[in-house]
Amino acid sequence: MRIVLLGAPGSGKGTQAKLLVEKYKIPQMSTGDLLRAEVSANTELGKRAKASMDGGQLVSDEVVLGMIQTRLSKPDAKNGFILDGFPRNIPQAQSLDAMLARLGQPLQLALLVDVDTDVLMKRLTGRRTCGSCGAIYNVHFSPSKTGNKCEKCGGALTHRSDDNEQTVGNRLNVYQQQTAPLVNYYKAQGKLRTVRGVGAVNVIFKNVTDIIESQIRPLADVMGKIESAAARQAAKAKAAEAKAAAAAKAAKLAAAAAKIKPKVKPAPPAAKVKPVAKKVVAKKASPKTKPKKAVKAKPKKVK
């Protein structure tokens, strides 16, 4: 499941995000946590973020989106994520949608934790924090039974200097001007769901999970089937492409081999050998040998 949480400062969306992490085993991605992690690891994105912060400037949307993309590549984000604190305005939301579309991981739900402004003021201005263990109380809704001492460890409770009405009022005004328009942005996409952020934490969480189970689970099943079919098609296309590439390579090698094959010249025809005429040499008579004279036969006498 891929969720973005919306809500004004003090709405309790951070608390709901932690409970969702425990139940669904998916990571919560807070821009503050991402920034601290990247700066601590001294990554390239962390260096760029630190340079902006050291210069008193806001970290650019490009850097924040890069950090989110890096975080999404980790194994624990395979089954989904919860975005908390980003996006803060329409341009950021549009850039986030574009990035998630490229990754094939579009948002499935924008969950608004809705709380009235007067309640938010009391929550923020009445907040008290234990300086020892970090436990949080509220003088209006959940005061410590031990006065200005922590019930858990006995530590002193402190009031943050920025939890005053003027500062809190300014923060809420900024939210109304910049972040509240995201409600209509996600409503137009059909992804917005709203839960009242007033009452016991476990009751609010039950309402949140009911929304998730009724809205995301069926959609997730359908999307899972679509993604599986798309993955199979992509695998087939990739295999066909690899086969075609192999055939083309084989043909190229065959053509190259044909070009470099040595040409064997045919042997020249055997030269015709003319028969050598034998010379007949007449034998000459030996000079020592004289020809025999013909002997004349003598007539026989008749008696």
Profile the chain (303 residues) by mean pLDDT over runs of 10 residues.
92 92 93 87 90 84 92 91 92 95 93 93 92 91 91 92 88 89 94 93 94 75 66 84 88 78 60 56 52 55 51
Q: Are 93 and 179 in contact (CB under 8 A)?
A: no
Distances (CA, A) of 93 to 6, 157, 159, 191: 12, 38, 34, 13
Residues marked active site are found at 13, 88, 127, 160, 171
pLDDT for position 128: 92
Choose among 120, 172, 123: nearest CA to 143.
Answer: 123
Q: Does residue 121 lie in a domain region?
A: no
Q: Does residue 266 lie in a domain region?
A: no
Overall domain count for the chain: 1
pLDDT for position 160: 85
3-class SS string, 184-242: HHHHHCCCEEEEECCCCHHHHHHHHHHHHHHHHHHHHHHHHHHHHHHHHHHHHHHHHHH
pLDDT for position 257: 76
Q: Where residue 180 sits, what CATH number does that domain have?
A: 3.40.50.300
**pTM, two decimal places:** 0.66
Q: Are 197 and 11 in contact (CB under 8 A)?
A: yes
Q: Which domain holds residue 54?
A: 2-115+170-233
Q: Does residue 146 lie in a domain region?
A: no
Q: Does residue 179 lie in a domain region?
A: yes
